[in-house]
Amino acid sequence: MREADRIVTIRPAMPPPQDDRPPPATAAAPGPGCDPEGKQAGAAAVPLCVDVDGTLLRTNTLHEQLVALLGRSPWAPYRLLPAVRGGRAAFKRAVAEASPLDVDGLPLRDSVLELIARARAEGQPVWLATGADRGVGEGVARHLREASGVGFDRILASEPGRNTTGATKVAAIRDAADGGAFDYVGDSAADLPVLEAARRGWIVSPSARLRARVARIGGAVAVLGEPAASLADWLEACSARAALIAGLPLLVLLPVARGVLPLLALVGAVVLAEAASRLFERALGVGEARRRAEAGALARGRIPLAHAGALCAALAAVALALGGSVAALSALALAGRIALGAARVWASSEAGRRLLGVAAHAASLLAALPALAL
């Protein structure tokens, strides 16, 4: 029996209409959003709009593209600087053209996939609403359809002249929905205007500060929490064991050192410099790691690439500060060590990587010279 027939049978008996006027809208045949009893589901016509970066994906697509570009050449990202003059959307398009996103293996967020599945089960349309470039949004949509069988009814994304974030995203969604209501799931402060305009909202793994700002919205915004990166994840990303192996052998110089503290400072500096180089190398190789199905914290998106970059810079800065506390020569040698370690990313052969590794260890010994009583 059709859904429309069921609606008619549950209505009280009445004489048939005497004219050809269509029945009122409330008596229209139900669409896919109807419940089993034939009642119109309130959320059926209200789209669930899903953000991409940090929400549907545990990573940021623009960062992924820039990292892939940097992995090819240390100068490649700088060639895109002229595109910045055209605005954010133009820059995103330039990056998308220079470094097409490799969608294979991009880490999807399970809690958002479950939210999409529930919306689909209720007959709710699901739209992709992203600040990423349109080509990136379409690629992510294809990846999701192939990975989980879930498709999107509509894609709203940035294009040259329109950066679809914040208030612009609100306007784009309302325009597509003909001014109607919508639900939204996002993850960052840039999503607050959209959550404020939404009928219902979800925020993914917010920080304490962002959670407080969401609470001030006063609307129906729920939290989709997922575990943050653990200390073990960070240590794995920094290759902590390899970093210790690089620095601890310098302790054999203790008998000829001018003092314990200067040598210990240099040992710590070498360990941190090696950790910075290893983290840099892992971040730039995240795409290759996914292709090899590695389960590292960076490849799985547990550590965002932006956070990895910030930690890498912090480790290098502390290493140089420790070296500079002993001697200027130590700081210069450590800077060279960090550069040599990072350069392993661009080595064209395994022999080249090994040669750069040997040169980095030689720079470590040079950094230790000022601490020796020679």
* pLDDT number for residue 6: 32
Using the predicted structure, report yes or no on whether residue 18 has a pLDDT greater than 60.
no
What type of residue is 137? G
Using the predicted structure, report yes or no on whether residue 323 has a pLDDT greater than 60.
yes
Using the predicted structure, report yes or no on whether residue 249 has a pLDDT greater than 80.
yes
Where exactly are the structural domains of the chain?
48-224, 231-371
What contacts 24+ positions apart, CB below 8 Å, involve 25-32? Answer: 29/2, 29/3, 29/4, 30/3, 30/4, 31/123, 32/123
Rounded to 5°, the CA angle 45-215-219 comes to 25
pLDDT in tens, 187-240: 999 999 999 999 999 999 998 899 889 888 876 889 988 888 899 999 999 999
**pTM recorded for the entire structure:** 0.81
* pLDDT number for residue 55: 95
Average pLDDT over residues 44-62: 92
Rounded mean pLDDT of the chain? 84
Asked if domains 48-224 and 231-371 share a fold, the reply is no
* pLDDT number for residue 287: 84
Distance CA 231, CA 233 (A): 5
Using the predicted structure, report yes or no on whether residue 32 has a pLDDT greater than 50.
no
* pLDDT number for residue 373: 63
Q: Which residues contact 329 (CB under 8 A, 6 or more apart)?
A: 366, 367, 369, 370
Q: Which residues contact 341 (CB under 8 A, 6 or more apart)?
A: 273, 274, 276, 277, 278, 280, 281, 356, 357, 360
Average pLDDT over residues 263-273: 92
Token pair belonging to 339: 């550069």
CATH number of 231-371: 1.10.357
pLDDT band at residue 292 using 50, 70 and 90 as cut-offs: confident
pLDDT in tens, 225-243: 888 889 999 999 999 999 9
Q: Which of 8-22, 85-99, 295-309, 315-329 shows the lowest per-residue confidence on average (mean pLDDT)? A: 8-22
Average pLDDT over residues 69-93: 89
Q: Domain 48-224: which CATH class?
A: alpha beta
Residues in the chain: 374
Using the predicted structure, report yes or no on whether residue 117 has a pLDDT greater than 60.
yes
Average pLDDT over residues 69-82: 88
pLDDT band at residue 124 using 50, 70 and 90 as cut-offs: very high
pLDDT band at residue 140 using 50, 70 and 90 as cut-offs: very high
Question: 10 Å Cβ neighbour count for 199?
Answer: 14
3-state SS track over the chain: CCHHHHHHHHCCCCCCCCCCCCCCHHHCCCCCCECCCCCECCCCCCCEEECHHHHHECCCHHHHHHHHHHHHCCCHHHHHHHHHHHCHHHHHHHHHHHCCCCCCCCCECHHHHHHHHHHHHCCCCEEEEEEEEHHHHHHHHHHHHHHHCCCCCEEEEEECCECCCHHHHHHHHHHHCCCCCCEEEECCHHHHHHHHHCCEEEEECCCHHHHHHHHCCCCCEEEECCCCCCHHHHHHHCCHHHHHHHHHHHHHHHHHECCHHHHHHHHHHHHHHHHHHHHHHHHHCHHHHHHCCCCCCCCCCCCCHHHHHHHHHHHHHHHHHHHHHHCHHHHHHHHHHHHHHHHHHHCCCHHHHHHHHHHHHHHHHHHHHHHECC
* pLDDT number for residue 129: 97
Q: Which of 60-64, 111-115, 369-373 shows the lowest per-residue confidence on average (mean pLDDT)? A: 369-373
* pLDDT number for residue 47: 96
Token pair belonging to 75: 């100068």
* pLDDT number for residue 159: 93
